[in-house]
Amino acid sequence: MSTNPEKGLFVKSPWPVALLIGLGAAAYTAWVLEVVLSTGLNPIETYVSELAAQDQPLGGLFRATDFTAGLLAFAGGLLGLAWPLRGGGSRRPWSVVGWAGVTLFGAATAADAWLPLSCTPTVDPVCAARETAGLVPATHQAHAVSSSLAMTGALVGIVALTFAARRYGRLAPLARYGPALVVTELLATVWTLSAIALFTAGRGTWALGAGQRTQVLLVALWLGLLAYSVHKERRT
């Protein structure tokens, strides 16, 4: 094990980081299977997490893919924290914050799979009424917390690592294309949060599902870009 910060601690090669993050990105897009599978849920109006609800016939499949994506991203984030780049890499502050965000995203996404919704509030009025009255299982509230933590971690990772790539002159593909993904991700997040607030206030869904699916798709695309950038860094 090297103790020289120039050569790094624990992880000398970035290829495991690239592999884990890349596989995590792929698993995080498993919800697109709703295009070919009969879920009975309208992707424009429903939460992505409703695909994994306990009362859904394919809920087990989507919970498994969420858990897998979370574990892979969590492991990749931890290895990213332990992978300095020679001459200015992940030990620098913005990189540390970014990899910590990816790690939080992974852990919270894995937790989501163990805290599923019991029903689908956007399409089931009885479920929505029970949720408003606080008559649903505690997993509903816990799921809201874990989902919020997952997206917070994702946003921190996206912003901080993209900024780090540009500031430190590393991860060239991320430095080049990351800013566009940052802007579109923030816009999708505003859309999603606004739609959730309106739905909670009883004013309809306002294409909540489309906004959230855009949001999570952009996270997956950014993770894929990060994995590719780490791979390219290894080759150079």
Query: What does the pLDDT read at residue 13?
Result: 73
Query: What does the pLDDT read at residue 84?
Result: 64
DSSP string, 171-191: -HHHHHHHHHHHHHHHHHHHH
Does residue 73 sit within a domain?
Answer: yes
Does residue 156 sit within a domain?
Answer: yes
Query: What does the pLDDT read at residue 14?
Result: 85
Query: What does the pLDDT read at residue 17?
Result: 95
CB atoms within 10 A of CB 126: 9
Kindly report, residue by residue over 10-31, the tens digit of the pLDDT. 456 789 999 999 999 999 999 9
Does residue 87 sit within a domain?
Answer: yes
Does residue 64 sit within a domain?
Answer: yes
Does residue 222 sit within a domain?
Answer: yes
Query: What does the pLDDT read at residue 42?
Result: 95
55: nearest Cα among 11, 118, 99: 118
Q: pLDDT (tens digit, 0 to 9) for every residue of the chain, 236 residues total? A: 344 444 444 456 789 999 999 999 999 999 999 999 999 999 999 999 999 999 999 999 999 999 999 999 999 999 999 876 543 344 689 999 999 999 999 999 999 999 999 999 999 999 999 998 999 999 999 999 999 999 999 999 999 999 999 999 989 999 999 999 999 999 999 999 999 999 989 898 899 999 999 999 999 999 999 999 999 986 55
For the chain, what is the domain count?
A: 1
Query: What does the pLDDT read at residue 233?
Result: 83
27: nearest Cα among 61, 57, 68: 68
Does residue 95 sit within a domain?
Answer: yes
Burial 16-40 (b: 16+ CB within 10 A, else e): bbbbbbbbbbbbbbbbeebeeeebe
Does residue 1 sit within a domain?
Answer: no
**pTM score, two decimals?**
0.91
Does residue 81 sit within a domain?
Answer: yes
Cβ neighbourhood burial of 187 (10 Å; 0-12, 13-18, 19+)? middle
Domain that residue 115 falls in: 15-235
Query: What does the pLDDT read at residue 234?
Result: 63
